[in-house]
Amino acid sequence: MSHMSAQKKILVTGGAGFIGSHVVRLFVQKYPAYHIYNLDKLTYAGNLENLKDVESASNYTFLKGDITDHGYIDGIFKAHGFDAVIHLAAESHVDRSIENPMEFVTTNVLGTAVLLNAVREHWKGQTEGKLFYHVSTDEVYGSLSDDGFFTETTPYDPRSPYSASKASSDHLVRAYNHTFHIPALVSNCSNNYGSHQFPEKLIPLMINNIVHNKPLPIYGKGENVRDWLWVNDHARAIDVIFHKGKSGDTYNIGGFNEWKNIDIVTLLCKVMDQKLGRPEGTSAELVTFVKDRAGHDFRYAIDANKLKTELGWEPSITFEKGLEATVDWYLSNQEWVASITSGAYQQYYQQQYEGR
Ligand code: NAD
Ligand code: DAU
């Protein structure tokens, strides 16, 4: 099935966040015939600065709103008649889900249900060319030991409030596809890194702490493994799946790129010593092992071969190159970092790391 048409009105949710802003930028710039509506509540994680370069494009509109507000969602569907939804809005940080699970249930589960009900209502009997694209995570599959990979048929086994809320939302999307014949698909992606990521997540947090000579808090022994993908490559994958994916299908997206946390932080220290003109080994002295995350999943690794063989996507850049580009972006955008690490971030940081 092709979802391509000359003109489309696409609702992107969570477009002011990390991955969403890369998706919005790609679609606004690559598809002038599409109109991109970016719906975002602008939580602590959403920032319109992320989209400065596209905000005045004629095929872009920002809508400030909450996906859990069904009256508001109904109103924007009535007003704009969207042809497709790319749903990224979510609470996304595992540590915050351990502190405050209910916010994750509300936004990720209820919010997704509200959007699904809106498309059910507004696309009734007219689903030709329509698509609900749900952006999800590999964490729904649980945790791996030293070997094996998550495939599209790996049974769900979420183990944190965050991943359980994402798993619930995935199930709802598939249930609406099956029961109400809403054209829908899900992609499950591994850890992203790149520009504009909020510095609560491992890589930007470490970059920021290295810049400021602050301790580098490594959970447990630092032996947990993640599969890292450059955010621009995730956005490219979403583009390919949006246009060529099959309704009802699932696509795993990954970097073919596994790293232990301690090895990433060691590499970052080395790269940043060079960039900051510090003697080699200086930043590595900041490494501090702290109390482990509760229920910390040991290893995630995605088998992304379906996406590669069926739709021809693969990562465009090596991790070393992507990481260097990311460090360069953070070093030349210290104002962006300073503006979001003031105020509420300080409070979060103290709560999360002090006395750990
Ligand atoms: P993020 O936290 O950077 O951004 C989330 C965005 O959603 C923010 O702009 C926020 O303001 C918005 N939002 C939150 N609650 C909202 C609400 N109730 N209504 C409207 N907008 C709301 O997240 P991210 O890292 O960019 O992740 C985006 C999506 O991709 C999420 O669904 C996440 O589960 C998924 N994902 C993330 C990763 C990753 O490594 N970051 C990997 C795989 C999948
Ligand atoms: O796998 C995809 C998921 O990746 C996404 O669905 C989530 O939205 C995203 O946040 C991410 O989850 P992780 O928990 O893997 O990412 P985080 O950056 O929080 O942590 C990466 C690893 O680093 C993890 O093993 C915990 C560890 N860590 C993290 C922080 C913030 C530390 O050792 N110290 C830290 O301070």
pLDDT band (50, 70, 90) for residue 345:
confident
User: Is residue 337 in some structural domain?
Assistant: no
User: Is residue 310 in some structural domain?
Assistant: no
Lining residues, ligand 1, CB within 6 Å? 13-14, 16-20, 40-43, 45-46, 66-68, 88-90, 92, 107, 111, 135-137, 166, 189, 191-192, 198
- For 13, the 3-state DSSP assignment is strand
- pLDDT surpassing 50 at residue 311: yes
3-state helix, strand, coil in the chain (%, to 5): 45, 20, 35
- Is the separation of the CB atoms in 218 and 291 below 8 Å? no
Q: Which of 91, 92, 230, 241 for mutating ligand 1's site (highest number of atoms within 8 Å of CB)?
A: 92
Check residue 107 and give its pLDDT.
98
User: Is residue 335 in some structural domain?
Assistant: no
User: Is residue 177 in some structural domain?
Assistant: yes
User: Is residue 127 in some structural domain?
Assistant: yes
Q: Which of 96, 188, 191 for mutating ligand 2's site (highest number of atoms within 8 Å of CB)?
A: 191
User: Is residue 282 in some structural domain?
Assistant: no
Check residue 2 and give its pLDDT.
45
Check residue 204 and give its pLDDT.
98
Query: What CATH number corresponds to the domain at position 34?
Result: 3.40.50.720
Q: Whole-angstrom Cα distance, residue 264 to residue 89?
A: 28
- Is the separation of the CB atoms in 41 and 89 below 8 Å? yes
Give catalytic residue positions.
138-139, 162
Per-residue pLDDT tens over the stretch 313-335:
999 999 999 999 999 999 999 99
What is the domain extent for residue 30? 8-192+227-253
Total domains present in the chain: 1
Per-residue pLDDT tens over the stretch 193-213:
999 999 999 999 999 999 999
Find out whether the beta carbon of 108 lies less than 6 Å from any atom of ligand 2.
no
User: Is residue 221 in some structural domain?
Assistant: no
